[in-house]
Each structure stands twice: as structure tokens, then as C-alpha cells.
Structure 1
Amino acid sequence: MWDWLVTALREHPAIALFLTVAIGYPLGTFKYRGISVGTVATTLIVGIVIGQLDIEISHNVATVFFLLFLFAIGYRVGPQFVRGVAQDGALQALFAVVVCVMTLGTAYVVARLAGYDVGYSAGLFAGSATASSALGLSTSAIQNLGLSADATRSMVGSLSTAFAMTYIFGTIGPILIISQVGPWLLRIDLPGVCRAYEKRMGGTGHGSGNSWHHYIMRTYRLLDDSPQIGRQVGEVEASEVHSRCFFDQIRRGEQVIAAHETTVLMTGDIVSVAGTRGSLRQMFAVGAEEVEDRELLAVPMGGVDVVVTKRAFDGKTLAELAKLEPTHGIFLTRIRRGAMGDDIPILPQTAIHRGDVLTLVGRPQRIRSSIGAIGRADFSDDETDVFVVFLMIAIGALIGVPVLMLGSVPLTLSMAGGVLFAGIAAGWQRSVHPTFGNVPRQVIWFMNVVGLNLFIGVTGITAGPSFVAGVQQVGLSLFLWGMIVTSVPVTLGLLLGKYVFRFDDALVLGCCAGASTSTAALGLLSDRAKSQVPALGYTIPYAVSNTLLTIGGIIIVSLL
């Protein structure tokens, strides 16, 4: 039975690849106290184990999935990357550049001290920085060095060995340093500084950051002395613009009618009104009594997701936007930003960026009229624009093909680098001119996760035969050197963020998590702070570092 299975896997390597991901991916999802080694590490390890059966699989298979993965990365980080480089996130973008340079520099120095060849050095960099995308670019760069087939195969094997040995601490190290050691090292009371930041931004400072947009719906019967009697609904709502109340329905006798702007309120009307608790109490302090009308209160309040694309909204604070006519009568319940759709705290001084996804609630006619002024409805479930996606991948790959010789050193963006920048261009274009190039969130997730893990699976299977020999050659020292390459840039980044860049104490740890591309660290920071404020410092550094660390896969090979 065993012989039959081995023969089947050797003759049909596609089965071995799918088996690798099927076993490796779920292993990487297990968490202990919010920390996991990640699906990439476990898939790679399983691939190495299965690769011991001496299975040959074409590297072209890995290339196809890797290009899909890189396009997905570029598409997701495009808006924040462009904004960070060109607009108001320049300081955070510069911080990410510095951290990436320190990561690359540390890997280079350590590789020289340890005497590693190009393969081990590139794997050390990619694994310690958890830059899975850099692994593919390093592989491409090594294949372009003009070495013999055996030398290239050996070097790529060394690359995979070093990546596997350093990736696990590369994942866990930033989580521990940023979320656990960081607050102590920088002497930051994270919950306290986040509450103080929320207060400065116009919130209540109770940790949630949601009091500004918190709303309730109540029903009131208008009495004879009600100041609303004889006035139109739109007039009453406009008079309460700063407290943001809106009427939804009216029970008039036995009839329930929609509360249009021109509807005149009458004595005895029972109205359903949404707003903050304090504003409703003030509006109906006299001339009204609160009643319970289940039919009027049973109004679906599901939100509508809207992508901000209009320049008029870009960079404006929520306090400024609340005064505009298009936002009157609607409530904001969620802001998602950046590559991972991170939740941003809703505070009066929170600035909105193009590409942000806002979840709005309110009367349907209000929301319909506001969507055109803000941007477009987020139709994430629509079909993928396959033509644009694959055309951009092809164009990006073609741009990356040419090789420039600098003396004896070949310099090239590579197909992978070209596709990454094509994805950034497509993502940015989609965020500002959403007329074509749609790629739903679910498809981006699939291209990102499945593309990466299939690429890693091929890498592990291919490197399997040489992995044991590589471990015997470098031993435990490679793991220890990897700990240094991971820890030094992250620790220095914490100190630079606070004392040189002088980021706010509430944001500096989030900036470090972004610059280290550690989403898990951001999650633990938010949990510890009981606030989404750290996410305000995360998105731009994450987008910039994700891009630069990927390109670092080419640079480390060129340097060595």
C-alpha cells in the first residue's frame, strides 16, 4: 500500500501538492493565546516532509500561483501605498522604509558574519522578515545568475531550508516584541494612551471610540404642545443637524407612512426617530411621550458599505463631513481601511481617505442620495473583471522581464516584481476610478491565501531532498541568527518610532506592527488597548513594508 502511494505521488505530483496544502494549511490555523506559527510555515514543513519521497514538480506551477499571489498583494495595498508615499502618510511611509532597510541590512551583515552563501542568506532574510513574497523574487533572481543547473538547484534548496528554519520565529518574534515587550520598553500605558487619544480626537475616551456614532431608535407620540407640530420632517431634521437625528416612519391613526422630508407632523402622530440618546432626550423633552410601538421599531437597520472615491471627502474629518448636506440623516457604524480591511475608530477627528469602506445606516432614500456624493456602493459580491486582472499580470510580467547588467551583476525587476507593481497600479486605479478592474474581497483572499500556499507547497516539495543535508550543514546556528535578524529591526523600530519619529504613544506600536507586517501583533495590541486606535498607525506602514520587503528578495541576492 505504501509503495503504491509513493509511486502515485511521484507519477502525479499534482496530488502531492494538494495533499501538502490540505495537511499543512489547517495545522497553521491553530492558535495558542492568540499566537500561531501561520499557515505558510506549516505548509512549507509538510511540503518538505512529503518532498523526502523525491517528487519532481515543475517550478512553472509555482510561478503561476506566485504571480496570482503577488497581484493580490499589490491590489490590496495599492491605495494605501500610493497615499503613504505621495500624500499625508509620508512620515509613516518613511518610517516603514527605515525599518525595511534595517531588516535588509541586518540580514546582510549576519549573512556575511556567518559566511552563508546567496541561497542561505536570501532565505534568512525572507524567513526572518516573514516576507513570503521575497522568497519567490529571490528564487527568480538566483535563476537569473547564469549558474549551472546543479548549482542553481542547490542554491534554491538552501534558500528554502533557511526560509523554513527562520520563518517560525520570524512570525512569533514581532508579536511578542511589539505587543508584550514594546509597552514596557517604551513605558506606555496602552489602554490609557488610547483613551487619551480618543478624547483628543473628540471621543469620550472610554476605549471603544464609538460613542460619537452610537445611535438608538425610539418611538414618541406628539402631543398638542409639541414644538414639532406643523413642521415638515426635513425642517425638524435640519434643525438638529449637529445631533444627527432622522425620522423613519409615522403612525397616523391606523396607517403607517414613511417619513418623507415634506411630510408635515401632526398632533397624535407616533414617530420613530433614530439618533443619539442625548439628542433624542433633548428633542422630545416637551410635548411628547415615549411609547412602545413594536411595528415602528422593527425596522431593518443593516448597513450599506460605501467606498470613498470622491476628492471632496478625501482627508476630511468626520466632524467636518457631518456638517455636509449629503451626510445628513445617515449614521456611520464602521470604517475599514487598508489591505486587510482593518477597523478604524470612529471619532470626530478621524480623517477619511479615498479607498476607505464606510458602513452607513439610515433611511434608504437618504443613503441612496449620499452614495453618489461619497463614492460608490461596495459591490464585493460582483463578478471579477478577469480581463483586466490577467492583462495587468501579463503586462507587469513583461515589464519585469528585461535584465540590465551592472558590470557582472544582473539587475532586473523580474516578472514577480513587475506583477507586484501592476497589482498596486490596478488597486489604486480601482479605488479612485471604480469603473473597471473589480476584484471582490473573496477573490483577493483566494488569490492571496491559495496562491501563496500552493507556491509554498511546491517550494517545500522541491526542497525536500536537500533540506536534511542543509540542516546538517548549518545546524542550530541558522535559527539563532534568524532570531537576531528578526529581533534587531523590530526593537530598533520601537525606539525610533517613539524617540526619533515621535509618533503618538497610541499609534507608535501600531506603526511598528505595520512596518513589520505583523497583523497578529496589531490584533493583540487592539485587544490589550480595548481600542481600534493602534490601527490608525498600521495601514500605511504595512502597505509600504509589504512592497519593499518583497523587492528586498531581489536586492539581497544582488548585494551578495
Structure 2
Amino acid sequence: MFDLDRGTAAGLAAGGLTQSAIIGTAGDAIARLGVSEEAQHIMQTNVAVGYAVTYIFGSLGPILMVTWVFPTLMKWDIRAEAIKLENESSDGKHELAPGEFNALTSLVTRAYSITKDSSINGKTIGQLNQNSLQACIELAERDGKPLELDKFTALREGDLIIITGRRNAVHEIQQQNIGAEVSLPENYEMIEENRQLIADNHSIIGKSVRQIKEETNKDTYRGVYVTEYIREGAPIEVTPDLIVKKNDVIQLTGTAEDINRVENNIGKRLGSATITDFIIFGLGMVAGFLIGLINFKIAGIPVTIGSGAGCLVSGLVVGWLRSKNPHVAQFPEGAANFIRDFGLAAFVGIVGLQAGPQAVETIKEHGMTLLFLGMAVTIIPQIISFFFSYFVLRIKNPVEALGCVTGGRSANPAFAALMEKTGNATPVFSFTVTYAVANVLLTLWGPIIVGVITLNAGM
């Protein structure tokens, strides 16, 4: 109808949907069409040109739709709806806004002087710590002098003890008439370590946290305690009867010497934030390129996955493996963000430089038609997704419905504008889920469009 060649149509989708990854997957698909080198070059250039012409409104359109058009049409007060949703979903827990922090830290420290009638007078450190999963009592001073005594040392009147642990656990110990609370000098130091271990020792799998603590603390001087427990990437509440599963992440707190003694009984240390698993990433990229070589037909239309989409599929598999086994594919988050943003910017920039000579000709040929088509590609899917989410899927909360629209379009600028309107983090969940799906499906549109459109440039 509009006489768009395969490259221009793919660029229209890439810019109108602000999905620059389509440039790569469409370019790979064009390279496998079997057309002349000249036609191939022109169409790959047109992908970049179509992207450049339509990208600006592709970014601006979703902002206008989710912050003005849809709220005005539905007569919504976004800020009021966001506050209402926050109160419903937080169970009384306040979502922190930028600049806010919880003044009550999860780990606390208290110091006490043992009195004559103290309930723990005469007991050993080991006895006191035996039943405490999330707090540790340590003997710090005797007769005004620092002591380095083991867990078999009995407490006596006048000893200074320090309790460190989770806030609730420390509070429970405080209720036992342990002594008089005292303040410590500001320069007083007590060095402990938080260490995350991956539960992969077969001897602890299937046992309760209490059993593991009792067994592992037999070899420690003071004892260690559990301050965080993560299963499949999500923190869960620590209880004495919690059963350990393979590859759970257990955070232990205590002296480095004690943690070193129990580490082998639990499993390997969770990788440092600076470690990169080059082997897994290398294998993943090779697998991605091999997947990209796959050709198939949909309703008689030839479709090539391409290296871009192939690496995306490979990345999804590796990411899933890492969620199941934290040993796999360790990579610093900061480095990942930098490589993603810089690599994408460099890729688009290089494509733009190569497309320069052809850009003017393409714009002259299609002119305002390309711009208006880009606006349609930007607006129409949003309208469909909004009404489908609201009336068919019955996502009735305005914030969640708008979050689905921005995520389904992988529209980061619109999401930022929506966050500013809501004033809290309520759109995050619906955006994150739909954004992850959209990133995969939108990227795959590159080779599909190249397969569906039959017009080649220069023909």
C-alpha cells in the first residue's frame, strides 16, 4: 500500500516502537535474503533511516499517552491512584521514595553489663547462642580489659557483652533480664563480616536451619548466625524449621575466623561483585550465533532468526540457569549496564554513519509518509494494549494498566514520566514483567517483518 521496502518497514518498526535491537535482527535477516549486494546494502541502510525518522515521536508518543491522553480520557488522578495502590499492596510498609531511607537498620548492636541477678550470669557464650538463629552474644570486656575468649567462657558479674543481630532477635534477648544496657565509646570497634554462601553441600540439604546452626557452630569460637536467606533470587523469612534446598543463598554474620571455619560445611561463597564468568558468556555467545543460523518458515514466509535474536535466546537461557544456580554466569551489574548501553549506542551510531549517504534519498522518496506511519506504529499498539489490558484482562488499577502499556512498548522514557507522575514505585511491577516480554518479542519482529514484506529496494 505504501511501497515500503523490507529495510524501511523494519526501520519504521524499530523507531516507532523504540526497539533498536530490531535494527540488528532485521539487518541479519536482510543479509540472508539472497538478493544482490547493492539491494542488500540499500535495505540495511533504510533500516537505520526509518529508525532515525520515526524514533523521536516513538519516544515522545508514549509519554503523552500515559501521562495525559489516557488519564484525561478515563478521568484518573494518577497520583491519588498510586497512593491508593501503595497502601493496598504494601501491608503497611512504606515504599521508600528517592532520598528516603529506613532509619531502623535490620542489624543492630547493643552492649550490656552483667549484673548479679542477670539471667545469664554464670552461663557460657556457647549456651547463650545455641538457640539464637539471628543474633550473637559476645564477651567484649572483663575488668575493663578487652578479651578474646571462646564460647566456653562463662559470664560473670561486671562483664561487658555485646549483642549483634537482627532487630527482632536482639529484642527477644533483651527481654530476658540479661543486665544493664550501657553505651559504648564512639570510637569502639567490633569487626564482623556478612558472607553469602551457596548451599551446595549435600550434607545440609533437607535439614532445618536450626540443625545446621547447631552442627556448624561446634567448630566456632564465638558462633555465627543467619541474617538473610535467599531462594531463587527472593529473600524469605528465616525460621528455625526452614528447610534448606540446594542452591539457596544463606548470609552468615560473625567474625571472619568463625565464618571461615563453617564455610566448607555449607557451600561455596557467592561470587564477588567483581567476578566475570567469561567461560559461560563465551559459550553463550557461541550458542547464540549457532541459534541465529536457524531458518524456518511461518505460513510459507521464510524467517531467519539471526545472530541478534539468537544471542537474545541464549541470554534468556543463561539468565534462567543463573536464577537456579548462583554459581553460573556471574557478572557485575554495573559492567552489564555499561556494556548494554554503550554497545547499543555504538552500534546505532555506526549504522547511522554508514546510512548517511542514503538517508537523504530515502527521506525524499517517502517524505512525510514515513513520519506519519511512524506515529501510527507508535500510537495504535498503545491504544490496543491499553483497552485490552483494562477491559479484557480487567487490569482495573490505573497505575498497573499504564505500567503495562509502557512495559509492553519497552518505553523507558514513558516509564520515567509515569514514575514522576505517581511519585512512588507502584508502576514498577507491571512495567518490569511486560518489559521483559516485550524486549524479547519486539526484537523478533525484525526478521518477521523482513519475511512478510516482499518488496526489495532497487527492484
TM-score of the two chains, using structure 2 as the length reference: 0.73
The structure with the largest alpha-carbon Rg is 2
Q: Counterpart of 2:182 in structure 1: which amino acid?
A: V
Q: Does 1:470 align with 2:362?
A: yes
Partner of residue 8 from structure 2, selected from 116, 120, 137: 120
Aligned residues: 425
Tell me the equivalent position of 2:456: none
2:364 and 2:173 map into 1 onto residues whose CA distance is 77
Of the candidates 19, 36, 42, which is equivalent to residue 131 of structure 1? 19
CA–CA distance in structure 1, aligned partners of residues 357 and 369 of structure 2? 21
CA distance in 1, matches of 2:330, 2:275: 8
Cα 1:272–1:399, aligned 2, differ >3 Å: closer, same or farther? same
| 1:298 partner letter | E
State the partner residue of 2:142. 252
Aligned partners of 1:367, 1:356: CA distance in 2, in Å? 17
Contact 1:198 1:347 in 2 (8 A): no
**1:274 paired residue number:** 164
Determine which of 103, 110, 127 is the counterpart of 1:218: 110
Q: 1:381 and 2:277 equivalent?
A: no
Q: 1:487 to 1:263 in 2, by over 3 A?
A: farther
The Cα shift of 1:116 comes to: 3.1
- Distance, in Å, in 1 between the alignment partners of 2:258 and 2:402 is 39
Q: TM-score, normalised by structure 1?
A: 0.61
Match of 1:65 in 2: none
| SS of equivalent to 2:90 | helix
Q: 1:292 and 1:211, CA in 2 relative to 1: closer, same or farther beyond 3 A? A: closer
Q: Report the Cα distance in structure 2 between the residues aligned to 1:265 and 1:119, rounded to whole angstroms.
A: 79
**In 1, distance between residues paired with 2:213 and 2:376?**
53
Over aligned residue pairs, what C-alpha RMSD do you find? 4.7
* Rounded Cα–Cα distance in structure 2 between residues aligned with 1:118 and 1:464: 18
Say which SS state the counterpart of residue 224 (structure 1) adopts: coil
Amino acid at match of 1:162: G
Structure 2: tracts of 5 or more residues without a match:
203-207, 215-223, 239-244, 454-459
Asked if 1 retains the 8 angstrom alpha-carbon contact of 2:22 and 2:445, the reply is yes
Q: Is the 8 A contact 1:354 1:431 kept in 2?
A: no
Q: Could you tell me how far 1:362 is from its partner in structure 2?
A: 5.6
CA contact (8 A) 1:245 1:273 kept: yes
* Equivalent residues of 1:207, 1:530 under 8 A apart: no
Q: Corresponding residue for 1:553?
A: 446
Give the alignment partner of residue 312 of structure 2, picking from 420, 432, 438.
420
Note if 1:292 corresponds to 2:146. Answer: no
How far off is 1:371 after superposition? 9.8
Change beyond 3 A, Cα 1:154–1:287: closer
| Identical counterparts, % of pairs | 26
CA distance in 2, matches of 1:400, 1:373: 41
Instruction: Give yes or no for the alignment of 1:394 onto 2:286.
Output: yes
- Residue in structure 1 matching 2:53, options 141, 148, 165: 165
Which amino acid in 2 is paired with 1:378? G
- Letter of the 2:19 counterpart: A
1:361 and 1:367 in contact (8 A); partners too: yes
CA deviation after TM superposition for structure 1 residue 489, in Å: 3.0
Pick from 388, 408, 429: which aligns with 2:321? Answer: 429
Deviations 1:464-520 (A, max 9, x none): 112122223333443343233223434543444455445584755555544333455
- By how many angstroms is 1:556 displaced? 1.7
Distance 1:436 1:333, change over 3 A: closer
CA distance in 2, matches of 1:322, 1:526: 40
Q: CA deviation at 1:135?
A: 1.0
* CA shift in 2, pair 1:216/1:410, >3 Å: same
Deviation (angstroms), 1:236: 4.2
* Matching residue's letter, 1:556: I
- Give the aligned partner of residue 242 of structure 2: none
Higher helix proportion, which one?
Answer: 1
Structure 2 residue 405 is the aligned partner of structure 1 residue 515 = no
1:134, CA displacement in angstroms? 1.3
Q: Please show how residues 432-511 of structure 1 align to structure 2 within 5 Å.
A: 432-433=324-325, 437-502=329-394, 505=397, 510-511=403-404
Partner residue, 2:218? none
Quote the Cα distance in structure 2 between the aligned partners of 1:260 and 1:509: 59
Gaps in structure 1 of 5+ consecutive residues: 1-111, 312-320, 338-343
